[in-house]
């Protein structure tokens, strides 16, 4: 973390299935691409509409090669992500990169910590997580509602990433549940900002704000926003603060910024 602003911090990774290109959302270097043969990443975009990216986070790629991605904050870099979450600042954006024009445009502004993003199976919309407020939002790309956004689901905790499975359902990785403490801090943002001034470690700040220990939660939603399944390691014995969940062949692959390993959960 000490030198990540120098070396970069890749957060979102997605392959374009038609070309095999790997697109990368790097928290410091913006939007990057690596060809199917590998090698050095090339820069695609570092700004949109004359505004530089501050905290590029996650992305997805449609069939035409358009890249939809999030910029979590224009005020705080990734290494100060706790300030983004707990200050409630809303400088985040949701953007689109057009491979034909090679330009990025802003789709949504004034979003509180947008992070995970995934396209629907039919490509008619994408979902993105709002980490600070704990919800999923939907941005319509096609149909009568194209260009509009709406709340898709209110989540039981603080989300990180969201991914689409083969059925068109959505798995959401959630760091931990909301508590009465996080509820009160939401009502009184000055209290949150006061706590952020304490000279304690990032881990202690995290625990102060969530009011408890970290533990893993993953939730599955239908394409209509109905909660279908909730899995939780309430004591944090195996997985803590889940940041990524991917379903493949009847298994869930779980990742976390706090765990030095991947966890696998059998759905069958």
Place of tokens 């939780």: 232
- pLDDT bin (cut points 50, 70, 90) of residue 124 is very high
Sign of CA dihedral 11, 159, 137, 108: negative
Q: For position 194, what pLDDT does the model report?
A: 77
Q: Domain spans of the chain?
A: 1-154, 160-268
Q: What pLDDT, on the 0 to 100 scale, is given for residue 203? A: 67
**pLDDT tier, 175 (very low <50, low <70, confident <90, very high otherwise):** confident
Q: Which of 25-34, 80-89, 151-160 has the highest mean pLDDT?
A: 25-34
% pLDDT > 70, the chain: 91
- Rounding to the nearest 10 degrees, give the CA dihedral for residues 19, 20, 21, 22: 150
CA atoms of 237 and 219, how far apart (whole Å): 18
Q: Residue 105 has what pLDDT?
A: 98
Q: How many Å apart are CA 78 and CA 256, to the nearest integer?
A: 16
pLDDT at 211 over 60: no
**Mean pLDDT computed over 61-86:** 89
Q: 3-state DSSP helix/strand/coil percent for the chain, to nearest 5? A: 15, 45, 40
In this prediction, residue 1 carries a pLDDT of 62
User: Are 231 and 171 a contacting pair, CB within 8 Å?
Assistant: no
Mean pLDDT, the chain, as a whole number?
A: 89
CA 81 to chain centre: 12
DSSP string, 152-177: EEE-SEEEEEEEE-TTS-EEEEEEEE
CATH architecture of 1-154: 6 Propeller (2.120)
Burial class (CB in 10 A: 0-12, 13-18, 19+), 68: buried
Q: What is the mean pLDDT of residues 81-104?
A: 88
pTM exceeds 0.85? yes
């Amino acid at each position: 973390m000490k030198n990540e602003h120098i070396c970069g911090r890749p957060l979102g990774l997605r392959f374009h299935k038609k070309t095999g290109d790997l697109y990368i959302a790097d928290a410091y270097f913006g939007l990057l691409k690596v060809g199917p043969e590998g090698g050095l990443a090339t820069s695609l975009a570092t700004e949109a509409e004359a505004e530089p990216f501050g905290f590029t986070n996650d992305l997805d790629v449609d069939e035409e090669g358009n890249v939809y991605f999030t910029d979590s904050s224009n005020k705080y870099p990734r290494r100060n992500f706790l300030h983004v979450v707990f200050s409630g600042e809303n400088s985040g954006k949701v953007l689109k990169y057009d491979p034909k024009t090679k330009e990025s445009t802003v789709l949504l502004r004034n979003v509180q910590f947008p992070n995970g993003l995934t396209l629907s199976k039919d490509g008619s919309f994408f979902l993105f997580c709002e980490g600070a407020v704990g919800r999923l939002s939907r941005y319509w790309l096609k149909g009568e509602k194209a260009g509009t956004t709406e709340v898709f689901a209110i989540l039981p905790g603080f989300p990180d990433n969201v991914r689409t499975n083969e059925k068109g359902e959505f798995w959401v990785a959630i760091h931990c549940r909301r508590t009465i403490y996080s509820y009160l801090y939401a009502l009184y943002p000055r209290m949150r900002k006061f706590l952020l001034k304490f000279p304690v470690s990032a881990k202690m700040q995290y625990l102060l704000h969530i009011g408890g220990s970290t533990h893993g939660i993953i939730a599955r939603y239908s394409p209509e926003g109905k909660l279908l399944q909730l899995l939780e390691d309430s004591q944090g014995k195996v997985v803590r603060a889940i940041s990524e969940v991917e379903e493949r062949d009847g298994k869930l692959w779980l990742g976390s910024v706090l765990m030095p390993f991947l966890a696998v959960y059998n759905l069958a």
